[in-house]
Structures are given as structure tokens and as C-alpha cells.
Amino acid sequence: MNFYAARQPILDKSKKLFAYELLFRDGVDNVFPDIDGDEATSKMVEASQFHMGISEFTGNKPAFINFTLETLSQGYPEILAPEEVVIEILETIKPGKKLLALCKDLHGKGYTLALDDYEHQNVWLHFYPYIKIIKIDIQLSSIDDINTVFSAIKNFPHIKMLAEKVETYDEYNAMIQLGFDYFQGYFFAKPEMLKTKSLSPSQIAMAELLYETSKTELDLNSITRVFERDVSLSYKLLRYANSAIFKRRNEISTIKQALVILGSGELKRFIGLMFAVTLTPDKPSELVKLAMTRAKFCELTAQDINVQLDVSIAFLTGLLSIIDALLDEDMVTVLEKLPLSKEIKDPLLTKKGVMAGIIKLVGFIEQAQWDKTKLIIDKLALDKDNVVQHYNEALAWADEQTQAIE
């Protein structure tokens, strides 16, 4: 069984990963056409317990999951361990004695409770001793609404505030000023500001390698020379080639040996990942992970497309689909600086063609826009289950690769 869910990061004030929210209820009719939200929740919890664990899907970070009153009453949260889930109480649930009793019970068992899309009513004060997180949709709430909530919780210092749907850096900075603790939304995946800057020597070396590996025929001598100019890059290549993910028996000790043993496909992936990491010393690690997830998803999905696509080019194109956010410049300016093949640049600039369609597809999945996801799946003549499986595999792979190259 596959998770029909998107994984959205929740970051703290330092833009470090705190948790993930698993989004599967929005547009659920498109994904589970014959069941309602309660059954969708129960199926997801069941899948997490008996098929792919929640901790695997979220990289051992807590998972925010929406629960209805019915699924709370049936005890579904208790299928999951307290440390791996944050129980989100949906905004559609009315505060009453039954819900209060459930909250007391779950709190007593060590579960973390959050109020989703919160709109303040005094009756919620009875719940505050058992609530750890309050989520505010900042697109729907005014500053006055938000300040009212902060005033209401001032005598409950254990409650943390989470700003949801933060889409720009200006919104992120404004929410920090208001006092929010956590932030959810894709502000970190957009350029922080438009500016012109030159690439560092190490970034230029990575750009050279990207160009070399986007060629049909690899020139190992040219690639070796670029690696030999950068001691740090050479070290990372050897460390990667010897990492546990490849389960090699004999140690790889030279640049050329590493290049030969890794092979064309794996080398292209490594260089693409190192390029992303090199560009983002001050960026949230989740941005690099997002780029990696897109890259792997595009590579896997390219194999299912009826028209012929180079999977290595698909990988690099997916990776570079958020290069504007990595470099804090607009896409046109960034791609002018990079010596990349036409097959990579065209989908990113024109947003047309099959490869651009795959990038749109993963973007819609990230945002849990299931209606648009279904349209793209149909347009590309893809199998829905395969698409979901590729996304799940890409998430797991990105988590593993992040650990390997850190």
C-alpha cells in the first residue's frame, strides 16, 4: 500500500526542520474516490503501521496528521507512537465535552496535540492545558486575529504558535516579529531577494562538472582534472563512493577509480547533488532535500513516459527546477551563467513540454493539490500508483542522500 500524501516541512525560527505535515485530505475525492475523510485517515494510519512506517516517510521527524472526531474516538492516534505523531484536531470539530475528554486522555498518554487552522473562541481555553501547538492560517487571519490568540495563551507558556501557509520571506519575517515559533509553507523554496552575484571558485568548478556530465559521452580526463583542482570536492567524491549506501567490499582510493566505479548515472547524480549543496551554505537543509526529491522523482518518472527521455537529464532538470531559490536570483539570470544543455534549460525557461510537465506534477504533489495532480497524470498518461510510489521513493532517497553527503 502506498501513502497518497504530500510531505510538507515545518521549520523553526532558524529555518531548521522541526517536523513534517502529511497532507492527504485536501482533494481526497481525487485520490480515494470511493471513501470519505475518516476512512482516508484510517487507511493512512494503517499503512504507516503495517506497510511503510511513518518514521521512514518523515525521516524520523514527527508527523503532523489531521484527525476527525470520529477517528479520534476510534483510537486511531494510538496506533502510532507518541514520539512520531502530532495529532492535529481539525478546525471543523466543535469544542465539546467529548473532544475535551479525548484530549485529556491523549495528553495523559504522552501525545502532542495541535489545533489546526485555529480561530479563537473562549471555550477553547478549557483545552489549553492539553494543547501544545496552535496553528494559524496567516492567509485567512488578520493581525488583530493573531494578536487575540497570543493574548489568550499568555498564561499558557507551554503552547507554541505555528504560522501556516507562509509563502514569502516577507511573511516569514513578519511572523517572527509577531512571536511565532514554527513556520509551514514554501517561503524557503522561493528566492529571498533578487540580486546579482558571481559564483565562487568551487561553484564554478561544480558548474563545469554539470556541463561535462550533461554531455552524451563523458570525458573522464576532463572531469578528473576538475576534481583534482578542488581538494574538498575530491574528498567528498571519495567519501560518497565509499559510503554505506553502495555496500562496497573494497575501498576506493583514487579519483579516476571512483569515477569509473560510480558510472555515468551515479556520477551525474553526485555532481548534481554537490552543486546544490555548494550553492546553499546559508539555506535551510530542507531546500536541498526538496531539490533532491524533485531530481529523483523526475528521474524515476521519466522512465514511465512514452516519449524517450534521458533519465540523467531528467534528474538534473528536476534538481535545477528550484535553482532560483538556491541562488536567490530569477531563473533566466541563473541559467545564463550556467553552461547547461538545451534539454535542461528549455523546460525550466519555457515551462513547456513533457519534462516541464513532470516538474509541474511533483510541484502539485508537494502542495497536495490533488485535482491538478490528477490532470497532469492523465495528460502524461502515467499510472497513479506508480507516481505515488515514485514520490515516496524520492523522499526516502533524498533523506538518505542528505546524510551521505553531509
- What pLDDT score does 253 carry? 77
Highest mean pLDDT among 131-145, 178-192, 268-282, 381-395: 131-145
Checking if the pLDDT of 27 tops 80, the result is no
Say if residue 390 is exposed, middle or buried (CB neighbours under 10 Å; 0-12, 13-18, 19+).
Answer: buried
Cα–Cα distance measured from residue 303 to residue 291, given in angstroms and rounded to the nearest whole number: 19
Which has the closest alpha carbon to 116: 174, 167, 162?
A: 162
Look up residue 356 and give its DSSP letter. Answer: H
Lowest mean pLDDT segment, chosen from 36-50, 136-150, 249-263: 36-50
Checking if the pLDDT of 138 tops 80, the result is yes
Please tell me the pTM assigned to this model.
Answer: 0.81
Give the mean model confidence (pLDDT) for residues 112-136: 96
CB distance 74 to 49 below 8 Å: no
Q: Which is it for strands 182-184 and 6-12: parallel, antiparallel or unpaired?
A: antiparallel
Please name each of the domains of the chain with its CATH number.
6-189 (3.20.20.450), 201-405 (1.10.3210.10)
Lowest mean pLDDT segment, chosen from 53-62, 240-249, 255-264: 240-249
Lowest mean pLDDT segment, chosen from 62-66, 79-83, 135-139, 325-329: 325-329
